[in-house]
Chains A and B, each alone.
Chain A
Amino acid sequence: MGDDIKMAGQPLSRVDGKLKVTGAAKYAAEYIIPNLAYGVLASGAIARGRIKSIDTAAAEKAPGVIAIITHLNAPKPPGYFGGKESSDPRTEGGEYRVFYNDVILYSGQPVALAIADTFERARYAASLVKVQYVKEPPQTDMLSNMDKAVVPKESDPDYNRGDKNAFDNAAFTFEQEYQTQLQVHNPMEPHAAIAVWEGADAITVYNKTQSSPIAQEDIAKAWKLQKENVHIVSKFVGGAFGGASRVWPEEMAATIGAKKIGRPLKVVFNRDQLFNMVGYRPQSLQKIKLGADKDGKLIGIHHEAYGNTSTYEQFTANMTSLTQALYACDNVSTLYRLVPLDVSTPCWTRAPGEAPGSFALESALDELSYTLKIDPLELRKRNYAAQNPDTKQPWSTKFLNECYERGAAQFGWEKRNPQPRSTTNGNWLIGYGMATGIYGAWRAPSSARAVLNSDGTLVVQSATADVGVGTATIMSQIAADATGIPVEKIKFELGDSRLPPAIGQFGSLTTTSVGSAVNDACVALRQKAIEYLKKSQSSLQNTPVENFAFGDGKIKTKDDAVSISYADLLQQQHLPSIEVTVDSKGSEEADKYSSYSYNATFVEVGVHALTNQLKVNRVVSAIDAGKIMNKKTARSQVYGSVTWGIGMALTEESVIDDRYGRWMVKDLADYHVPVNADIPAIEVLFIDKSDDILTPIGAKGLGEIGIVGVAAAIANAVYHATGKRVRDLPITPDKLV
């Protein structure tokens, strides 16, 4: 596209911003459905065993109650009986089946669904369900169950290049263990679903999802329905962060309950159910070994990672992948194992493997820098990978050095005194830390439809999602550039399984995949418009194709001498609209290259010398994510990523009482998402250079890269401030005592 790009990059405000701030945007639980009933799930009290009996008498007699559903009376989705067929191909094993039988697999699992005429009455009725259990001792402590670690079936977990014994020749070796915590997505919007059966064979589900096609597939499979008879509507999502990437008990309970009562049913989770009735970021134990020569050149890296999963599924988020690609090192080995526990299955959480993986690797590199007495930034530069050290492919683009240079300059890294505990401000110990982030850039097959109306407006559609990042806005910008139609005349529609299938919103894939599809569909649409133009009586009829330009809602000659508006063209041709649907995917050329987004994060922290109170004073996040589509929404997204990183580093953690297998931190008072007082000014620098190999629009993906490395940068800064290295997150004041 090159010089054509005009709207992309502009800091356009969100096209749906007004809808959101005025409350007009409809989220899953907000649809008004006639004859709607309300369901609330009752959560189980034990982590392992069986349900001996359920007493629903009191619940059934409670005011307004329509039905109490348990495994004893629930209609069973036919897909439940498919054994292997019902398993989720994205997580090895069989998914948790709501109200399937009496087996308890995790504490807090749904044991009953109370359905009433109001939400409040349903919630009260749910509290009256009394369950007797046959208890078995649960195993929920990962560290004491390491002997049960298994090799994940889904992916090849072990990796080796070069010589495993290279450490023997290293002048310096370093070995350490790191741990990361159970982290919970905690979006503002709770998980919710409304199920509306249309006869026995068709259903509409309004839900919170990052992918309406995946929700459609999951529900079709469970109920053995034709896919096209399952309609998923999820126009707005109030935060998801990976937590709405698959169907959870709210959708299944709503479809089961609605079937049972023959009425539309809404199920909304309570906050505590958002902790483990859906997925969460698993905890990790990681071991890093580094070998280096005296100049800091890495001779060998070994990275082992262990994460927890449930007993019934294997959730994988390989924490070691980044170690294979980040630094130029000939000898690298990694190992990844899962520890099955009596907990619910974890799931994708912002930068699933990379966020915890980078904490270990980038903490270790920092520790090595002190051993070698080499500046941490310099150490990383000395190991800069000029090509992918694993595949030996060239990078499509890599501007990590620019991230280092610009980030360090903006931050004032050169002022850092290399000595730990050397800088103070009153009673506060001041520390500087930095880390590198890396996240794979991909483009997945996606489709988009572009419909040009005779009034000159353009509707672009794709079944992707917007979990709050501004997708509709940047897609409109991309469409505007491709067609020359002003952005105000463009409407982008998403969040509906009936739209052209596309990748959901995860893996930092939406812009690269759907943005490219939107571009391709709009380019195809304008070609189609030109074909009509060729058939018309217009004076542009004989203009060679390469001489056309597009702007102001018009097709024109490049010298702007002659033009016709899209509206006039369609009206002259008596066309109410023209439309094009395009299936789009990456080029074969792109396969020859390796693509990643990068960042360098620089952090200043203050730690109170007496009370250990921690404060992040400053963050500079320098990011190479290819061409930035909208500097305003992009900056906001990085603010969010850095905030996530601060939460991971300092405040967020849920805790399980292993005696009961029970999550003990499960509300927003005790699970400490960072608040304003925790978040300093965050300076975001975009390198903003196009990657024209990966995508026609130059983007590489931005959703996750901003969090990768942040926790390590903060931990490194805390060490620099205090001289104390904390290797298990979060770094709360008590760990510095």
Chain B
Amino acid sequence: MNLFQYVRPAEQKTAIAAVAAEPTARFLGGGTNLLDLMKRHIMQPEKLVDVTRLPLKGITQQGNIIRIGALTRNTEIAEDKTILQNLPLLAMAINAGASAQIRNMATTGGNLLQRTRCPYFYDTAMPCNKREPGTGCGALEGFNRMHAIFGFSDKCIAVNPSDMNVALRALDATVVVNGPKGERKIPIADFHRLPGDTPEKDTNLDKNELITAVTIPISPFSKNAYYLKVRDRNSYAFALVSVAAALNMDGNTIKEARLAMGGVAHKPWRLTDAETFLKSKTATEENFQQAAQIAFQGAKAFKHNQYKLKLGPNTIVQALSVASGLKSV
């Protein structure tokens, strides 16, 4: 990696000022993604501002809202009693990602900012508009087995690799950020971006803004929630597709559904039309099949990811079946 400055401020204000002072400076959390990218010369910040000493850890409940500090490690969330009781979907999603060692290091804020695993992005000898705008998209007509089927552009067909983000999207989380202009709250739906003409921008977070927390409303979905990830090996692999399904049930009737997918788009993909369809429906395989078909209207595949057009709906059906109690895993 390149030579860089390293500072570890004790206060938020100092940390934000330190990043603002340097055009290429970055916040450093668990380092599980950024350090990899630096070793491979994909990101070469000249200053790292280590935020791990800031008091941004922990999970608290205030009324109907659960607040997760940005520096809370993934493992801490997945093992937290409040989370397991109220937001089991989030714990399941986190446990489906990475390895135990990585989850022990990775922070909530860092996971939100995890960058794509597109192999063209990772290889500096290859074209990639996300890494080097204007060089083209290597995956568009290349090896695109892992790539997007929703919301892509001709500039970029990469997917967001996070599992946690998919659950946060289904649970209507809010990302709390602080920056030189003060604090603001970004709904998770608006946090990640579609690639459009600027695939180099993964999120709507300003460069000098620091994620301080994620808040999630407690909703009546905890009893009927399931995160299902289909992958090439049974642990430690990125999703071919994944589905976060959460249902508010009254007996066998679905009062409200939440559905989001991973491995299909540049951002965690919410399936609102399918959710609307499921409202007030009974939990039957037929209804789940229909919901899956509705969810996949408009999906478009490339040479190597045609399988997602069938595997995706199947995974939705299976996730809904398990979440509703219709079927076992």
Contacts and interface: CB of A to CB of B under 8 A. Distances in A.
Interface of A: 43, 45-46, 63, 107, 120, 123-124, 127, 426-427, 608, 610-613, 615, 650-651, 655, 657, 659-660, 662, 664-665, 667, 669-670, 672, 674-678, 730, 732-735, 737
B13 interface: no
B310 interface: yes
Contacts of A123: 1, 39
A677 B236 CA distance: 9
Contacts of B232: 651, 672, 730, 732-733
Main secondary structure of the interface of B (DSSP, over half): loop
Interface stretch (B22-30, B51-59, B140-148): B140-148
A730 B228 CA distance: 22
A427 B318 contact: yes
B314 A610 contact: yes
Contacts of A608: 318
Nearest to A656: B143
B38 to A, nearest CB: 10
A612 B230 contact: yes
Contacts of A107: 125
Contact of B41 (A127, A426, A659): A127
Contacts of A615: 234
A734 B143 CA distance: 15
Contacts of B294: none
Contact of A733 (B3, B119, B228, B240): B240
A611 B126 CA distance: 33
Contacts of B237: 669, 672
- Decide if the interface of chain A is mainly helix, strand, loop or mixed: loop
A677 B145 contact: no
A665 B235 contact: no
Contacts of B231: 613, 733
Nearest to B138: A657
A611 B228 contact: yes
B322 to A, nearest CB: 9
A222 B143 CA distance: 39
Interface in B306-323: 307-308, 310-311, 314-315, 317-318
A626 B165 CA distance: 54
Given A427-B318, A657-B143, A659-B142, A611 B230 contact: yes
A660 B117 contact: no
A675 B327 CA distance: 27
B181 interface: no
19 contacts: A123-B1, A127-B41, A427-B318, A427-B327, A611-B230, A612-B314, A613-B230, A650-B233, A651-B233, A657-B126, A657-B143, A659-B142, A660-B125, A664-B120, A675-B235, A678-B235, A735-B307, A737-B307, A737-B311
A42 B78 CA distance: 41
B101 interface: no
B123 interface: yes
Contacts of A612: 230, 311, 314
B123 to A, nearest CB: 7
B40 to A, nearest CB: 8
B125 A669 contact: no
B328 interface: yes
B94 to A, nearest CB: 16
A659 B126 CA distance: 11
Interface in B235-264: 235-238, 240
B142 A63 contact: no
B2 interface: yes
B233 A737 contact: no
B234 A677 contact: yes
A730 to B, nearest CB: 8
A734 B117 contact: no
Contacts, number: 103
A127 B124 CA distance: 10
A664 B120 CA distance: 8
Contact of B318 (A124, A127, A611): A611
Nearest to A732: B232
Interface string B210-233: 000000000000000000101111
Given A610-B314, A612-B230, A657-B138, A734 B145 contact: yes
B207 to A, nearest CB: 23
A675 B232 CA distance: 11
A659 B123 CA distance: 15
A124, A669, A677 — which one has the most chain B CB atoms within 10 A of its CB? A669
Given A672-B233, A675-B235, A733 B311 contact: yes
A95 to B, nearest CB: 24
A611 B123 CA distance: 31
A123 B3 CA distance: 11
A654 B327 CA distance: 36
Given A127-B41, A610-B317, A662 B311 contact: no
A677 B237 CA distance: 11
A650 B117 CA distance: 21
A465 to B, nearest CB: 30
Interface string B16-50: 00000000000000000000000101000000000
B328 A610 contact: no
Contacts of A613: 230-231, 234
Interface string B149-164: 0000000000000000
Nearest to B308: A734
Interface string B108-130: 00000000010110111110000
A670 B230 contact: no
Given A612-B311, A657-B142, A664-B119, A677 B125 contact: no
Q: Which among A427, A650, A674 has the highest number of chain B CB atoms within 10 Å? A: A427
A346 B40 CA distance: 25
A675 B125 CA distance: 30
A610 B315 contact: yes
B238 A669 contact: yes
A64 to B, nearest CB: 10
Contacts of A675: 233-236
Nearest to A672: B233
Given A612-B311, A737-B311, A662 B123 contact: yes
Given A124-B3, A664-B120, A664-B143, 17 more contacts: A427-B328, A610-B318, A611-B315, A612-B314, A615-B234, A651-B233, A655-B143, A659-B142, A660-B126, A669-B237, A670-B117, A672-B237, A674-B233, A675-B234, A734-B145, A734-B308, A737-B310
A120 B35 CA distance: 13
A655 B234 CA distance: 20
B117 A669 contact: yes
A427 B123 CA distance: 40
A46 B119 CA distance: 16
A107 B125 CA distance: 10
Contacts of B318: 427, 608, 610-611
A367 B307 CA distance: 25
Contacts of B2: 124
Contacts of B311: 611-612, 733-734, 737
A122 B165 CA distance: 37
Contacts of A670: 117, 119, 238
A483 to B, nearest CB: 46
Contacts of B230: 611-613, 733
A114 B119 CA distance: 25
A187 B321 CA distance: 41
Contacts of B234: 613, 615, 675, 677-678
Contacts of B233: 650-651, 672, 674-675, 677-678
Nearest to A427: B327
A453 to B, nearest CB: 46
B35 to A, nearest CB: 12
Contacts of B1: 120, 123-124
B324 to A, nearest CB: 14
Nearest to A616: B234
Contacts of B123: 662, 664
A613 B117 CA distance: 21
A732 B123 CA distance: 24
Given A734-B145, A737-B310, A662 B125 contact: yes
